[in-house]
Amino acid sequence: MEPFIELQHIIKLKGTRPIIKRVSSIFNGGETTAIMGFSGCGKSLFLKIAAGIVPPDRGTVRFHGENIYDMDPGNIRLFRKGNGFAFQDAALWANKSVFQNLALPLQFHFPELSAAEMNGRIGKILDQSGYRDSPNLRPDQLSMGERKIVSFARAMVTDPDILFLDDPFSSIDHHTIDRILNLLKRKKEEGVSIIAVSHSAELVSKLADRIIIMHDGRIIEQGQVNTILNTTNPLSSEILAKVFTKPEAFDSAILDILGDDDFRL
Amino acid sequence: MITSLGRWFNRKVVAFFYAMGYFFQVLKETIKFIMSRHVGLKVLRMQILFTGVEALGITAILAVSLGAVIIIQGVSLLPQFGQGQLIYTILITVITRELGPLLTAFIIIARSGTAIATELGTMTYSHEVEAYISVGINPIAYLVVPRVLGVTISLLLLNIYFNLFGLIASYFVTQFFTTVQFLEYFRNLLQTLTTSDIFSSLIKSVVFGVIISTIATFYGLHLEQSSTEIPIVVIKAVAHSVVVLLLADVFITLIYYM
């Protein structure tokens, strides 16, 4: 797999205090990476830096070798067109309806789409994501779970090659999680790269190729799922245990990954 | 002591250049916005509606009251000193050149400056601004420029509206108290009014519009982490707008008399 996003020696400061501490990582095309760690360890910020949303104070983020934060407007537009970001708190535009939240990225990147094509595309992705309410509602009329679904649909609506998902399954019911997981599985099979901050055992077991474990603004471990799940690092084990001791984690998929003998978390 | 003074000075210099960088970025995006059809046109229309149209009532009341007070005071006092004709110079100086642009600017700071800083602050806090970046929409082009243009266009039009009400409508109000003939009043007013008065007034309202909107958007987008910062950025936006506005007013007035 070809490396497509490369973060080198990333430092992010809050005032004078570093909150991301000289972090480096490489994301390969078509791969699914799960970023895990305790709350406040810098996972979401790391994801936003990788997605080119928050610039680092030091270090570089390269997309196919080109620094994201130095790209010319044409290339940055192409980069954005090819990726979608679902926010942890949904971050839907409050003054727009659900439909308009999904229509704006389409209008911006695909101005040639007719109204009928746009309606069709938005209706399809909302249905696939499991959104059942009216597309004319405003975000403040939705539950947190519904907002997260719409945020996910907004990330997917432009049919991106890279998906950045920040804790995509929190506040969402299991039925909808299954639906989204199946959709992500299909996208993965089509070659879409997924980088997700998640503590979902299902996402790790069914989709992830790599795991990054963060603690206190640093990456303490990163590698293929099987390698990381057999870690001897006590901190990594503690973080993984929090995920895999949940009852829903004991499904066939995770046991397949670990093997009965290896399941020692 | 010297070290902390040096740090403070360094912070101020960095903040100044950061603000200048922001201003030039807004300027660049504004030129691009004007040159090309943009998805932010709807935001621009809404901004003009909110800043301009919805402020018509209060602007008219203020303009008529001010004009009426000047006419009543002038017509009563000035003839006693043999300076009855000065009323027209006073009207033009106060309404057209000074208080027209300044009072409309204050109305807009109170209504739209605070609203813009609050709205953008809330959007920043709820990561809506980051969401624009994530889909590739430049927040300066989409959120800031339509507001800057909307406020500036509205302030310019409100200033003209203020002048119409302050100079003409106020005349009719004063008819209950004075006996000045309309044609005489209107002819004297036009004779006193010069092109430089009009230009000075219009330039002031454009400059004030740019100042208010740029400062309000700058502070709105400057929110760091917490929702409790929103009132703080609003207060900063208002305070800085008033100070910069008055400095700009003095500067433009000085140029006028040079």
- Domain of A28, CATH number, reads 3.40.50.300
Question: What confidence tens digit (pLDDT) does each residue in B56-71 have?
Answer: 999 999 998 888 888 8
Residue (of A166, A179, A189, A165) closest to A129 by Cα position:
A179
Both tokens assigned to A236? 């990594």
Q: Chain B window 93-122: which residues touch A at a Cβ cutoff of 8 Å?
A: 122
Residue A237 resides in a domain: yes
Which among A50, A35, A48, A44 is positioned nearest to A228, based on CA atoms? Answer: A35
Put simply, the chain B residues between 26 and 45 with a CB less than 8 A from any chain A CB are 39
Q: Indicate if the alpha-carbon torsion angle A196, A201, A202, A208 is positive or negative.
A: positive
Residues of chain A with a CB closer than 8 angstroms to some CB in chain B = 48, 51-54, 76-77, 79-81, 83-85, 87, 89, 91-94, 104-105, 107-109, 154-155, 158, 164
How confident is the model over B204-216, as a mean pLDDT? 96
Q: Is B136 on the interface with A (CB under 8 A)?
A: yes
> Strand pairing of A32-37 and A210-215?
parallel
Task: Give the C-alpha separation, A155 to A164, whole Å.
Answer: 8
A113, part of any domain:
no
Which residue has 């740029």 as its token pair?
B214
Which residues have a Cβ under 8 Å from the Cβ of A136 and sit 6 or more positions away?
Answer: A97, A98, A99
Task: Please answer yes or no on whether B131 and A91 come within 8 Å at the CB atom.
Answer: yes
Task: Judge whether A110 lies within some domain.
Answer: no
Distances in Å between the Cα of A249 and the Cα atoms of A206, A256, A257, A258, B31 are 10, 12, 12, 12, 55
How open is the CA angle A74-B126-B226, to the nearest 5 degrees? 120
Q: Which of A245-254, B87-96, B152-161 has the lowest mean pLDDT?
A: A245-254
The Cα B185–Cα B93 span in angstroms is 16
pLDDT at A3: 65
Chain center to CA of B99: 11
Query: Is there a domain that residue A10 lies in?
Result: yes
SS3 A207: coil
- Report pLDDT for A159: 93
Domain that holds residue A190: 3-82+160-258
Alpha-carbon distance B88 to B190, whole Å? 9
B187 Cβ contact list (under 8 Å, min separation 6): none
- Taking alpha carbons only, the member of B92, B71, B95 closest to residue B189 is B92
Is residue A221 assigned to a domain? Answer: yes
3-state secondary structure of A94: coil
CA angle A43, A44, A47 (to 5 degrees): 90
Instruction: Indicate the SS3 state at residue A135.
Output: coil
Share of chain B above pLDDT 70, in %: 98
Residue A1 is predicted with a pLDDT of 57
Owner of token pair 């409790």: B228
Question: What is the pLDDT at residue A196?
Answer: 95
Establish if A104 belongs to a structural domain: no
Residue type for position B177 = F
- State how far the Cα of B191 lies from the Cα of B254, in Å rounded to an integer: 23
Domain locations in chain B as residue ranges: 39-257
pLDDT digits (tens, 9 = 90+) for B37-50: 666 778 888 888 88
The mean of the pLDDT values for chain B is 89
Query: Which one-letter amino acid corresponds to residue B196?
Result: S
Number of neighbours of residue A257 by Cβ within 10 angstroms: 17
Contact criterion met (CB < 8 Å) for B39 and A107: yes
Greatest pairwise CA separation for chain B in angstroms: 69
Instruction: Quote ipTM for the complex.
Output: 0.88
Cα B22 to Cα B217: distance, rounded to the nearest angstrom? 10
Angle of helix A115-129 relative to helix A98-109, nearest 10 degrees, comes to: 120
* Residues of chain A with confidence (pLDDT) below 70: 1-3, 245-265
Q: Is A169 helix (H, G, I), strand (E, B) or coil?
A: coil
Candidates A149, A246, A136; CA nearest to A202 is A246
pLDDT tens across B16-44, in order? 898 899 999 999 988 888 887 666 778 88
Of B122, B131, B137, the CB nearest to A87: B131
Query: Quick one: pLDDT at residue B39?
Result: 65
Helix axes B100-108, B229-257, angle to 10 degrees: 170
Domain assignment present for residue A129? The answer is no
Determine, yes or no, domain membership for A15.
yes
Q: What is the pLDDT of residue A238?
A: 87
CA-to-CA dists, residue B44 to A111, B75, B101, B104, angstroms? 20, 43, 21, 19
The predicted structure's pLDDT at residue A256:
56
Chain B residue nearest residue A75, CA to CA: B136
Q: What is the helix (H) or strand (E) element at residue B69, kind and residue range?
A: helix B56-77
The shortest C-alpha distance from B29 to chain A (Å) reads 12
Determine the Cα–Cα distance for residues B166 and B172; give it in Å rounded to an integer. Answer: 11
Q: What confidence tier does B87 reach under pLDDT thresholds 50, 70, 90?
A: confident
Buried b (16+ CB within 10 A) or exposed e, B49-86: ebbbeebeeebbebbbebbbebbbebbeeeeeeeeeeb
Q: What is the pLDDT of residues B129-152, one digit of tens each?
A: 999 999 999 999 989 999 999 999
Helix (H, G, I), strand (E, B) or coil at A201: helix
**Which residue, among B29, B129, B130, B135, would best test binding to A if mutated, counting the most A CBs under 10 Å from its CB?**
B135
Distance in angstroms (rounded) separating the CA atoms of residues B49 and A3: 49
